């Protein structure tokens, strides 16, 4: 029987429901406490799309959610890179892996929450964690509505601006703003995208800003913009700006790009979604303390350029549940979890930092990047970088106590 019987999971985004479901499968009673007032598929969700890599889908298989994600997603079967409107060049991908899946964030949240509930996890909305009392044999979480809950451990799956991270270590670093604001839009097909097959995604380095676009099975074009902006805006602040103002800004930023100019021009206020500032997490010195531990973006948010944030969150969720299942006490379980995860997430974060630099560099660096990026892709050891990231599969049935890398 696991040393831990009950877990409080703070945050019901991606890492939270996957962790709670994996814990339930491992025989640990888990409840999720989410600050948002209702399930995120509703209008207050942050919206936009997410690409899940084969390693993320492999992690979801363990909690029985991968098929549902595939059924709701768009398989991305081809990737191109385009620099300053030149025709997209084929981007190599590791061979023999299933395609990444692009899924609406609200749909993903719904699938993960439904799966958690089916596994016996209780989900409490409108529970914003504000304080924690630690006892010798447990933790009590206090919420903004005056209620509280107690458990053997508390898991901070509360995202890049994590409150649990500061409760573990008041000196923990905060999220770093990348100098980019995120947007997503949807337009009809046009002459400049007509040749693309559904399932093709193009990563485009425009004259002034980076963007990406993909053809959907219905023929329409989804696109995401990374707009350089020295001023940081939260999701709420970005949404408070009138859609027409954002439309004007995006039209200016992509005016000289093909098809960026058309994508920006044809995006209407109805389909434009602002997602606010993009962040990364610098290395977090303390992943856990006492009976509290971090998972997902709260402890390792790589740049969105890696396409790995959500997939890594899912992997960490599974590994944390395995450690709590197999190790005799909380401290060795958290230590093993960090050992299993830290080297991998650090490596991926470092790759992401290099790409992010290419998205918002100064004018001189931008010219250099245009010259160097194709060369970087051409000379990249694909199997060593992307292969290692995407082929990662967790052996859920293997006992962590027999895994040397966890116990070293």
Ligand X SMILES: Cc1cc2nc3c(=O)[nH]c(=O)nc-3n(C[C@H](O)[C@H](O)[C@H](O)COP(=O)(O)OP(=O)(O)OC[C@H]3O[C@@H](n4cnc5c(N)ncnc54)[C@H](O)[C@@H]3O)c2cc1C
| Contact residues for ligand X, defined by CB under 6 A | 10-16, 33-36, 48, 50-51, 127-129, 157-159, 163, 182, 275, 278, 296-298, 301, 304, 307-311, 313
CB 1 to ligand X: min, Å:
28
Give the pairing type, strands 6-10 and 29-33: parallel
**Nearer Cβ to ligand X (2/40):** 40
| Residues forming beta bridges with residue 8, ordered by sequence position | 31, 154
**Nearer Cβ to ligand X (258/309):** 309
**Nearer Cβ to ligand X (73/296):** 296
CA dist., res. 13 & res. 140, Å (int):
21
CB 45 to ligand X: min, Å:
9
Q: How far is CA 222 from CA 69, 173, 218, 258, 365, in A?
A: 18, 34, 11, 15, 29
CB 76 to ligand X: min, Å:
10
**Nearer Cβ to ligand X (99/403):** 99
Q: How far is CA 357 from CA 57, 210, 365, in A?
A: 28, 11, 9
CB 234 to ligand X: min, Å:
11
DSSP per-residue codes, 22-61? HHHHTT-EEEEE-SSSS-TTSTTS---EEEE-HHHHHHHH
CA dist., res. 85 & res. 211, Å (int):
11
| Rg of the chain taking only CA atoms, in angstroms | 21
CB 128 to ligand X: min, Å:
4
Q: How many residues appear in the chain?
A: 408
CB 185 to ligand X: min, Å:
13
**Nearer Cβ to ligand X (14/349):** 14
Instruction: Compute the Cα dihedral for 194, 199, 205, 206 and give only its sign.
Output: positive
**Nearer Cβ to ligand X (101/258):** 101
């Amino acid at each position: 029987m696991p040393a831990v019987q009950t877990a409080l999971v703070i945050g019901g985004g991606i890492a939270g429901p996957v962790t709670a479901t994996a814990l339930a499968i491992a025989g640990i009673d888990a409840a999720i406490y989410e600050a948002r007032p209702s399930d995120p598929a509703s209008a207050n969700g942050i919206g936009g799309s997410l690409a899940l890599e084969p390693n993320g889908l492999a992690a979801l298989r363990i909690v029985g959610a991968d098929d549902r994600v595939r059924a709701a997603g768009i398989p991305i079967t081809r990737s191109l890179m385009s620099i300053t409107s030149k025709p997209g060049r084929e981007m190599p991908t590791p061979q023999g892996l299933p395609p990444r899946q692009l899924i609406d964030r609200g749909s993903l949240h719904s699938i993960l929450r439904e799966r958690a509930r089916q596994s016996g996890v209780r989900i409490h909305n409108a529970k914003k964690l504000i304080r924690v009392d630690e006892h010798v044999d447990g933790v009590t979480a206090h919420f903004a509505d005056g209620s509280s809950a107690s458990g053997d451990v508390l898991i901070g799956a509360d995202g890049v601006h994590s409150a649990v991270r500061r409760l573990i270590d008041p000196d923990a670093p905060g999220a770093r703003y990348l100098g980019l604001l995120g947007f997503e839009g949807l337009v009809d097909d046009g002459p400049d995208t007509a040749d693309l097959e559904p399932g093709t995604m193009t990563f485009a380095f425009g004259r002034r800003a980076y963007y990406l676009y993909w053809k959907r099975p219905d023929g329409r074009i989804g696109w995401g913009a990374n707009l350089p902006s020295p001023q940081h805006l939260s999701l709420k602040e970005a949404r408070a700006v009138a859609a027409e103002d954002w439309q004007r800004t995006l039209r200016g930023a992509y005016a000289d790009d093909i098809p960026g100019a058309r994508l920006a021009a044809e995006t209407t206020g109805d389909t434009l979604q602002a997602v606010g500032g993009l962040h990364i997490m610098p290395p977090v010195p303390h992943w856990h303390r006492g009976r509290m531990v971090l998972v997902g973006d709260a402890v390792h948010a790589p740049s969105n350029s890696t396409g790995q944030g959500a997939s890594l969150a899912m992997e960490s969720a599974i590994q944390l549940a395995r450690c709590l299942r197999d190790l005799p006490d909380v401290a060795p379980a958290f230590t093993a979890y960090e050992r299993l995860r830290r080297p991998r997430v650090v490596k991926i974060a470092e790759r992401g930092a290099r790409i992010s630099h290419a998205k918002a560099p100064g004018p001189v660096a931008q010219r250099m990047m245009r010259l160097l990026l194709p060369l970087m892709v051409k000379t990249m050891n694909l199997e060593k970088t992307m292969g290692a990231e995407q082929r990662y599969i967790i052996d859920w049935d293997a006992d962590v106590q027999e895994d040397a890398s966890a116990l070293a």
